[in-house]
């Protein structure tokens, strides 16, 4: 039964315009909090161009800020507006600041980027801290290889922001999967702000009005590239296995993701049209309903997909990317060592026979529950408790 935290307001910031991971994580946290507490309202600030494609529970809403996208050279450019990046960033910072000033949140939860995209949330963090808002940084279980993260955070001058503007740091994972900010030289005062929540259990969306976009009546593997912007190699590898091995016992349903380049998406559709055992779609906002009916899941191992694999207790084959970050590779190795998933290293070559053999093994692979770790999926309950503690206990007089 939902409890009350009357009139409490939580503002969540998700910087990303490219991909689905940050948005889906923030949405899951928001939905969990309003389910726990009848008196809580949550507002999400997001640059995602497809945020309107998702359903939101009562007392959860969003403000869309102008989108940006990352180019191959690592630089950003405006996503939808024909104005230069500096103008877009100025608009984003202003919208974030004034939304926060008007909404007057009790807690401001920043997802992954301590200073926001190009420092855009620093002014908001300062203003809210002066007003008595609790500023919280939420980090996924793995960020990147330590030396790369250290260099990035030094460049962005993150350390003083963590010291001076944040009250808490929540890690959405377990210590058994490692410390995402280990060995990057954080001060003891910052380390004391860290709490491990456990992973974020995913509830299935309502299927009352859902129409399956593909045939789900026969057994299948679900192959998902998340947002799809960096999933070309993985999907090519899976399709090539079905093209070369006619003895694969089960069908594959491939979800390319909405951000895959159209030229690659069309090529995959053309190839799959010649294969009896492969169906392909671009996107389904209720992909969890496809996952729960699958025999197993093939994915790249982003944070959200990993949570879904654990929550739905599905055997999973992870093919992590290694650029531009080692995040997925680190997570996949640690999860495989714990017996939660199996993995293939794409850097060892993408031989179709290797993928076909892995798919055949996947059919008999044990689910994650066979090696479940205590507290693994307690993330939402622990976040709700952390929120309660912060809202029911006045802030100390710390600077």
**Position 300 pLDDT exceeds 70:** yes
* Burial class of residue 266 (count of CB atoms within 10 Å of its CB; 0-12, 13-18, 19+): exposed
Tell me if 229 sits within 8 A of 19, measured CB to CB.
Answer: yes
Pull the structure tokens for residue 146. Answer: 């330590």
Tell me if 305 sits within 8 A of 297, measured CB to CB.
Answer: yes
Tell me the pLDDT tens digit for each residue of 145-189. Answer: 989 999 999 999 999 999 999 999 999 999 988 889 988 889 999
71 or 86, which is more confident? 86
238: enclosing H helix or E strand = helix 232-244
137: enclosing H helix or E strand = strand 134-140
Tell me the pLDDT tens digit for each residue of 334-387. Answer: 999 999 999 998 766 789 999 999 999 998 999 999 998 999 999 999 999 999
SS3 state of residue 196: strand
How high is the mean pLDDT of the chain? Answer: 91
Backbone φ and ψ of 215, nearest 5°? -75, 115
286 or 18, which is more confident? 286
Tell me if 207 sits within 8 A of 286, measured CB to CB.
Answer: yes
Tell me the pLDDT tens digit for each residue of 36-81. Answer: 999 999 999 998 888 888 889 999 999 999 887 765 555 666 776 6
124: enclosing H helix or E strand = helix 122-131
Q: How many Cα atoms within 13 Å fall on the side-chain side of residue 289?
A: 17
Q: For the chain, which domains are there?
A: 8-201+378-392 (3.40.50.2000), 220-371 (3.40.50.2000)
**Position 398 pLDDT exceeds 80:** no
How many C-beta neighbours within 10 Å does residue 221 have? Answer: 25
Could you give the percent of the chain with pLDDT greater than 90? 73
SS3 state of residue 90: helix
- Tokens 């739905």 identify what position? 312
Tell me the pLDDT tens digit for each residue of 96-136. Answer: 999 999 999 999 999 999 999 999 999 999 999 999 999 99
């Amino acid at each position: 039964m939902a409890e009350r935290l009357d009139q409490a307001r939580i503002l969540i910031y998700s910087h990303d315009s490219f991909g689905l991971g940050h948005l889906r994580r923030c949405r899951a946290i928001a939905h969990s909090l309003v389910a726990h507490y009848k008196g809580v309202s949550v507002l999400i600030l997001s640059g995602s161009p497809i945020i309107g494609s998702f359903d939101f529970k009562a007392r959860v809403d969003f403000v869309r800020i102008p989108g940006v996208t990352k180019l191959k050279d690592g630089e950003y450019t405006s996503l939808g507006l024909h104005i230069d990046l500096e103008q877009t960033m100025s608009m984003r910072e202003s919208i974030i600041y004034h939304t926060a000033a008007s909404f007057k949140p009790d807690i401001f939860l920043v997802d992954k980027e301590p200073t926001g995209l190009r420092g855009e949330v620093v002014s908001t963090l300062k203003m809210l801290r002066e007003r008595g808002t609790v500023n919280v940084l939420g980090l996924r279980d793995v960020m990147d290889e330590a030396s790369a993260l250290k260099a990035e955070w030094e460049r962005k001058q993150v350390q003083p922001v963590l010291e001076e503007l944040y009250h808490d740091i929540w890690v959405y994972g377990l210590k058994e999967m490692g410390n995402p900010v280990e060995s990057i030289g954080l001060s003891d005062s910052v380390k004391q702000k860290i709490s491990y929540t456990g992973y974020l259990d995913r509830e299935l969306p309502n299927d009352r009005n859902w129409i399956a976009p593909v045939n789900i009546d026969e057994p299948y593997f679900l192959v998902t590239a998340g947002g799809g912007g960096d999933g070309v190699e993985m999907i090519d590898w899976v399709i090539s296995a079905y093209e070369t091995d006619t003895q694969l016992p089960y069908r594959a349903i491939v979800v390319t993701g909405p951000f895959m380049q159209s030229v690659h998406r069309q090529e995959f559709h053309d190839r799959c049209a010649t294969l009896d055992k492969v169906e392909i779609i671009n996107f389904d906002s209720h992909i969890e309903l496809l996952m729960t009916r699958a025999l197993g899941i093939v994915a790249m191992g982003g944070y959200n997909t990993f949570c879904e694999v654990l929550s739905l207790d599905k055997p999973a084959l992870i093919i992590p990317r290694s650029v531009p970050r080692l995040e997925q590779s680190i997570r996949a190795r640690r999860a495989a060592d714990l017996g939660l998933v199996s993995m293939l290293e794409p850097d060892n070559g993408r031989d179709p026979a290797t993928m076909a053999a892995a798919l055949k093994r996947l059919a008999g692979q044990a689910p994650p529950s066979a090696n479940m770790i205590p507290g693994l999926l307690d993330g939402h309950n622990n976040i709700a408790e952390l929120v309660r503690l912060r809202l029911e206990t006045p802030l100390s007089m710390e600077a």
